[in-house]
Structure 1
């Protein structure tokens, strides 16, 4: 079975509507607002600054990779940014190639940047399990992968969308697992970094149909019930049963959106004893009955 991180990324169903090569020279700055869309950048040469609203600024150097799973407002700039209000907009100098700052001077940065989209109807929930941003240093593998993304974005070859989706899944998994650890912000990555909690998380993801209780999950983790509950809540950011419900509903939404199975089978696959019990739980969680939800998603 896929591990929880792979399952979450797979359910997000990423696509790549935009990828470009950007060079900058002299002082430059770009303010971006992506309304929650994922943004990524890999620095190929030189360096720049990244300032995400509400976070400390980051200096990005050659070989660095950054991913913002839900980008809202941030600024990228040269290491010595221009005075406020003096920055010029990017200028297209070729297909998928843009120039920042001085059009003639030697470049102080060259990077691959882009944003992707998540097709999942539960993207907000899944993204909430991830860090606000991911910064990986010396990311040669990620840079290579993004080079392939950039090349595939530009090409008009058969199977392009499928190839891009798979490449982006690998990019996201590579980036996220590179930052997993006890120091990660609360969420799925921090939970997976704890061997005891990871056992419980794998159990929920591998066997969502099981009649899980906090006590059963604690046994899976090899911890007492109270210790497990508090440790899980601190690391993952939500209580164990709240996480289990959210995961089951994410799976249900995916199955309903695809329309491949009937309501009774959806209920069974996500751990409910009957379609009626599932329907009540789904309507309470999502705000509308599963049949209506399925019709709305399949009509799009």
Structure 2
């Protein structure tokens, strides 16, 4: 069966950037401001709290995994509260890729694997917009096994370490995302895939982007009336069906133009446009660049 979720992750091209082990004890707090990088955190032992951009703090426990596809301002802190006026706690590197926060001379009560990674896609921001802002997974044995493998690889200096880490992270992301693909997920692709009726239509759009889909045709695929399908889709994904289809076609187009996989006419046909001019108008309206200009700019990077 065609899998839209796996395709989105594959198009994102996740790669290993930086990971480290962080141990903490007592009261501590670390704030970070980053520019939209993907951030992940696995709780190996103990517990801590994390707040993202002013949202209420999330309490994390051993075995939990948290992924922020585009992180900006976030704060990690101990379960033991700190006063608002207390200074933040600078991490101390005790050995390569191994940091300590809080009191230095007593056994740690929490251990984390934290890291940033990269998305190699030329359209990562668009794809990330289809995902929840924060993905928190708890009690998944398979995920815990993957985290253990990532931890071992991150700590070691074995041959092909970065290649192995990149592949493990891709699997880890897919596992984390599909663990939260339910009807209770925030609006976006995961919530849509958690609705078995909508999932049929989403799979069709991903598998056959070259088809001249209409809302009525997609509604028939989902075995829903046109009006019910439209409202249910918009509520679940946060956008109308045709807007989602355009978003997906443009993501595919950017990826194909980035590698210049075929002529512009062939790319247009692959993603559902009957002519180069129709594709060019849609692409230019969406990106501000013609397909040819976009392809040349990408080749020059």
TM-score by length of 1: 0.95
Write the distance in 1 (CA, Å) between the matches of 2:255 and 2:153.
27
Q: Which residue of 1 aligns with 2:129?
A: 128
Assess if the C-alpha contact under 8 Å between 1:200 and 1:217 holds in 2: yes
Residue pair 1:130, 1:188 contacting (<8 A) in 2 also: yes
Q: Which runs of 5+ in 2 are unaligned?
A: none
- For the residue of structure 2 that corresponds to 1:82, the secondary structure is coil
**How does 1:35-184 map onto structure 2 within 5 Å?**
35-83=35-83, 84-153=85-154, 159-184=160-185
SS in 2 for 1:282: helix
Q: Which residue of 1 aligns with 2:29?
A: 29
Aligned to 1:206: 207
Distance in 2 between the 1:272 and 1:156 partners? 48
Preserved CA contact (<8 Å) 1:87 1:101? no
| Cα distance, 1:159 vs structure 2 | 4.5
Secondary structure of residue in 1 paired with 2:278: helix
- 2:300 corresponds in structure 1 to 299
Contact kept? 2:9, 2:174, Cα under 8 Å:
yes
**Matched pairs, number:** 300
Q: Which runs of 5+ in 1 are unaligned?
A: none
* Rounded Cα–Cα distance in structure 2 between residues aligned with 1:293 and 1:159: 33
- Whole-angstrom distance in 2 between the partners of 1:43 and 1:225: 45
Whole-Å Cα distance in 1 between the matches of residues 116 and 143 of structure 2? 15
Aligned partners of 1:209 and 1:270 also within 8 Å: yes
Q: Show structure 1 runs of 4+ deviating over 6 A.
A: none
Query: How high is the TM-score relative to the length of structure 2?
Result: 0.95
Instruction: Give the distance between the partners of 1:98 and 1:156, measured in 2 at CA.
Output: 17
- Note the 1:241-280 alignment, pairs <5 A: 241-280=242-281
Q: Is the alpha carbon distance of 1:156 and 1:97 closer, same or farther for their aligned partners in structure 2, counting shifts above 3 Å?
A: closer
Kept after mapping to 1: 8 A contact 2:23/2:111: yes
Change over 3 Å in CA distance of 1:19–1:236 after alignment to 2: same
Pairing 1:5–2:5 present: yes
* Aligned-pair CA distance for 1:87: 2.8
The aligned residue for residue 188 of structure 2 is: 187
Q: Cα gap change, 1:79/1:156 in structure 2, threshold over 3 Å: closer, same or farther?
A: closer
Q: Contact 1:134–1:176 at 8 Å: present in 2 too?
A: yes
Secondary structure of the 2:80 match is coil
Is the Cα contact below 8 Å between 1:33 and 1:74 reproduced in 2?
yes
| 1:158 Cα deviation after fit | 5.3
Report the aligned-residue RMSD: 1.5
* Cα distance change, pair 183–160 in 1 and its aligned pair in 2 (3 A): same
Relative to structure 1, the CA distance from residue 73 to residue 299 in structure 2 (aligned partners, 3 Å threshold; closer, same or farther) is: same
Q: Secondary structure at the match of 1:167?
A: helix
2:16 corresponding residue in structure 1 = 16
Query: Using the alignment, how far apart are the partners of 1:25 and 1:167 within structure 2?
Result: 29
CA distance in structure 2 between the aligned counterparts of 1:106 and 1:161, rounded to whole angstroms:
30
